[in-house]
Structure 1
Amino acid sequence: MSNIIFPQLLVIACGGALGAITRFWVSTSIYHWLGRGFPYGTLAVNIIGSFLMGFLAVYLVERLGPEFSPQWRAAILIGFLGSFTTFSTFSLETLHLLLDDDYLRAFLNILLSLVTCIGAAGVGFWFARQL
């Protein structure tokens, strides 16, 4: 592995570890607060993560540009946020709702996740461009 790629992989891995820990903390806190009757924790981290991805994609790339290190950008966008957001968990929780014949909650989870996460990414873009 080249000397350039290894440090970037290392910072992505570190960002990923921090994102996973943060996801666990946020989703566990949400479940503690709202219960486990609906995948609130996963929905919350996906909305938060989508907003941050939209905001930071603009802010780090367009606003800070080359002044901001590509390694840090990769650590944040690929590592941290890639690990913090939970599409695979969303898929599994939705599948469990479907297997339990809870079609209303499954549909609600799909609808809320898609609409709010895409909306949150758009709001993040908008906020970053207003700076």
Structure 2
Amino acid sequence: MIRVALAVALGGAVGSVLRFLASSWVAAQWPRHFYMGTLAVNLFGCLLIGLLSGLFLTRTELPLELRVGLITGVLGGFTTFSSFSLEILKLMESGRLFEAAGYLLCSVLGGLLAAWCGLLLARLAS
């Protein structure tokens, strides 16, 4: 169990750093649309979690540490629901209600679609 916990911790550190780098890059490119980094990270994370989950269903011989480290650790650190929630509130408080609603819909519906696409890709690969 300690090896699995260490894999999650290491993966979480990696995912968090990747999220920081991606969000910082997007914010530097488009400061007014600061939330787009979180949106991109969340959609890509949803795609990856669908893909990895689907692959891991057929690749049970892969070590548990690897599977849990990637999904719970890396993707848990990489995706950002708490940041997403705060950014929606900031948009709403600044009167950008249409943008907040669009961001919310794109994130939720896009995330579901991305996870489904990842799962389909995994099924095609097996």
TM over 0.5, yes or no? yes
Instruction: For structure 1, list consecutive stretches of 5 or more residues without a partner in the other structure.
Output: none
1:26-78 per-position Cα deviation (integer Å, ceiling 9, x unaligned): 12222223333351100000010000000000112x2211x101111110000
Alignment RMSD = 1.1
Equivalent in the alignment of 1:64: 59
In the other structure, the counterpart of 2:80 is: 86
The aligned length equals 125
Match of 1:19 in 2: 15
Counterpart secondary structure, 1:36:
helix
CA distance in 1, matches of 2:48, 2:32: 25
Does residue 110 of the first structure (1) align with residue 104 of the second (2)?
A: yes
Deviating more after overlay: 33-42 vs 81-90: 33-42
TM-score normalized by structure 2?
A: 0.94
Which is further off, 95-104 or 30-39? 30-39
Of 7-16 and 35-44, the range deviating more from structure 2: 35-44
- Identity level (%): 36
- TM (norm. structure 1) is 0.90
